[in-house]
Amino acid sequence: MKQLVLLVFVLMGFVLAESNKEKIINLLPPGVELNFFEDSELEDFYAVNVANNQIIYISKDFKYVFAGELIRFNNSTPESLNDLYKQKYVLSQLDKINEDEAIKFISKSESKVIRVFTDVKCAYCRIFHSEVQRYLDEGISVFYYAFPRDGNLSDSFKDMNNAWCSRDKNESLTRLKLGEKIDNSKCDSPVERHFLTGRLIGVTGTPTIILDDGSMLTGYIPSEDLIKIIKNG
């Protein structure tokens, strides 16, 4: 009997969640996709993640919507709740990618890992890659994911497919970032999956560095500065 009652409550919760989901979707502009929603720290409001990892808030009576930065003060220190919800979504989507799909430059004294969405044609990505050894020396491993900025018909997309399908992925990626050519290769390449995931979580440029808490840093940051950010994060 207790199991039956529990099942009824679970089903009621599922139906209610689906009903609320439809109500939220109906409030969104046409073409704007709902990624997820959950109770927010703002009483009687949902935190709603839409489109390319953007956060809005919708009241639970579905009468009010606001888009803006929600700040929580933690011991007088301002903290963006928007960022926390975004970071949660970033990590949830990256967890869906098999870690073995990354091209990994692993530190022998690994204490931190950064995940980097990269484009082999991107000048700042090439500068970042030229400094990879500095990160490795500091105990920071670099896991690369593909983000051909010009899409799946671009030369960059084709080049990165070749790199991810090559026997020595690390060498192939390095050669491409040096402006060299590599052999054509074919496999079940993850490049398009990486690209679509990047767009989903809000990657708009390269390099985009993702820290272990899900926070995203877009654009080139000198290695000495980024190493401090990573170690203090």
Per-residue pLDDT of the chain (233 residues; tens, 9 = 90+): 444 333 333 323 433 456 889 999 988 888 889 999 999 999 999 999 998 999 999 999 999 998 999 999 988 889 999 999 999 999 999 999 999 999 999 999 999 999 999 999 999 999 999 999 999 999 999 999 999 999 989 999 999 999 999 999 999 999 999 999 999 999 999 999 999 999 999 999 999 999 999 999 999 999 999 999 999 86
pLDDT of the residue at 18: 67
Residue 222 contacts by C-beta under 8 Å, 6 or more apart in sequence? none
CA dihedral 115, 121, 126, 127 (to 10 degrees): -110
Of the candidates 191, 184, 87, which has an alpha carbon nearest to the alpha carbon of residue 145? Answer: 191
DSSP state of 188: -
Secondary structure class of 151 (helix, strand, coil)? coil
CA distance 106 to 137: 10
pLDDT of the residue at 4: 33
CA distance 81 to 71: 6
- Domain segments of the chain as ranges: 2-94, 99-232
- Strand-pairing partners, residue 78, are 73
CA distance 100 to 95: 12
Secondary structure class of 216 (helix, strand, coil)? strand
Residue 48 contacts by C-beta under 8 Å, 6 or more apart in sequence? 24, 34, 36, 37, 55, 56, 57, 58
DSSP state of 99: G
Six token digits for residue 6? 């529990």
Cα dihedral 145, 149, 151, 155 sign? negative
- Whether domain 99-232 has CATH 3.40.50.300: the reply is no
> Rounded to the nearest 5 degrees, what angle is found at the Cα of 87, between the Cα atoms of 195 and 200?
25
Preceding omega of 30 cis (within 30 degrees of 0)? no
pLDDT of the residue at 76: 83
